[in-house]
Amino acid sequence: MAAVPQAQSGDQTPPAKGVAADGEPQKTLKYQGPVPEAPANKQGRAKPKNLEADFKKEEELYAQAKACAVDLQKHLAEKAADDVLQAHTQLFIELRSSQAALKEKEAELEEKDAELEKKGATLKEKDAELEEKDAELERKGATLKEKDAELATTQGLLEEALEKLEAESRLRLSVEAALEEKEVKLAETRALLEEALERKEAESLLRLSVVAALEENAAELAGSRARLEAAMNEAEALLQLSVVGQPDPDRLFKGPLPFGAAADSCLLGMVGSDLCMGPGWAFVNDSPASKLHKAKCGNLPPGFKWYHYATLTGRTNTQVALCDNPRCRKAFNAEQDYLKA
C-alpha cells in the first residue's frame, strides 16, 4: 500500500478508547493498593484467588481492547489514505480533462484569432478601397466644381450673346422694314426701267449682231496667234536644248535631298540650267524647258495651270514653277514625301 499522507489538523480522528493521542497504546496501571477484603461467605471465609483472576481477565480484556483500538486506528488511517488518494486521483482526472478542454479552447481561440486576422486584413483592404474611392470622389468633386465654374462662365457668355442677339434682331427688324420700303421704291423704279429697256432692245439687237461678228473674228485671230506662239516656243526650245523627249513624270526622283534651305538651293541648281528635274514637274520660270514641257505634257491654256514653288511648298524659292498636270502633280507630291522623310 502506498504511503499514507498525514491528515490535516482539521481532519484528525479522535483516538480510540485506551489509545493515546500520539497513537501509542496507553500503559496499564496495576492496582497496588490494599486488596479489598472479599465478602465473607456464609461460612465466613475469604476468596482472594477469584479477585486476581478477575484482574487478569480485565487485563486480557484491556489488551484485546488496546489491540482492537490499534487495528481500528490503522483501518481508519488506511481509509483516510484511500479517501485522499481517491480525491487526488479524481482531482488529477479533472485536471487532465480541464487541460484537454483548455487545449481545445486554445485551438478554438487560435482559429478565431486567425479568422480575426483575416477579417482584419479584409477590413484593411476595404479601408484602402474606401480611401481610394473617397479620393476619387474628391477628384470628381473638384472636377465638378471646375465644370460648375466653367458652366457659370459659359452661362454668363450665353447671356451676353443672347443680349447681343436681341439687339441684332431688333436692328435686323428695323433694317428689314427699311428694305421693304426700298423694295417698294425699287419695284417702281424697275417698272420704269423695263419700259425704257423695251424701247432700247430694238436698238441693241442691231448692235449685238455687229459685235458678235467682230468677236468671232477676234477669237479666230487670237487662236491663230496662240498656235503660232506655241510653235515658235517649241521650235526655239528644241533648237536651244536639242532635246527630243522628256523624262517620264511617273518615274520619281530619288536623290538624297534634305528638307529646308539646302533642298531649295539644290533644287534650284538642278533646274537652273533650264533642264527639267527627274520627275518632269519643276522648271525655272518662263524658261525654254518649261515651255517645252508645256507642249509635251499638254499643259496649255485653258487647261492646267502653273504654280510658283513657294506657293505650294512654303519655301523661299520663288524662281521655280510647278506644272499642275495630274501626273506631274503626283510626282511632285511623292517627291515632297521623300524630302520630308
> In 3-state terms, what secondary structure has residue 272?
coil
| Cβ-contact 313, 336 below 8 angstroms | yes
149 has which bridge partners? none
pTM confidence score: 0.22
Residue that wins the pLDDT comparison between 125 and 306: 125
What was the pLDDT predicted at 313?
58
pLDDT, tens digit, for every residue of 56-69?
888 888 888 888 88
Cα dihedral 107, 109, 112, 116 sign: negative
What was the pLDDT predicted at 6?
47
pLDDT, tens digit, for every residue of 4-45?
444 444 444 554 445 454 555 554 444 444 444 445 444 545
Give the chain's mean pLDDT.
71
257, pLDDT greater than 60 = no
Mean pLDDT, residues 263-281: 46
pLDDT, tens digit, for every residue of 284-301?
677 766 666 666 666 666
pLDDT, tens digit, for every residue of 71-128?
888 888 888 888 888 888 888 898 888 888 899 999 999 999 899 999 989 999 999 9
pLDDT, tens digit, for every residue of 244-254?
344 444 433 33
| Cβ-contact 253, 278 below 8 angstroms | yes
Residue that wins the pLDDT comparison between 271 and 223: 223
What was the pLDDT predicted at 236?
55
The alpha-helical segments, DSSP class H, found in the chain are 48-241, 261-271, 288-297, 309-313, 326-340
Phi, psi of 320 (to 5 degrees): -115, 140
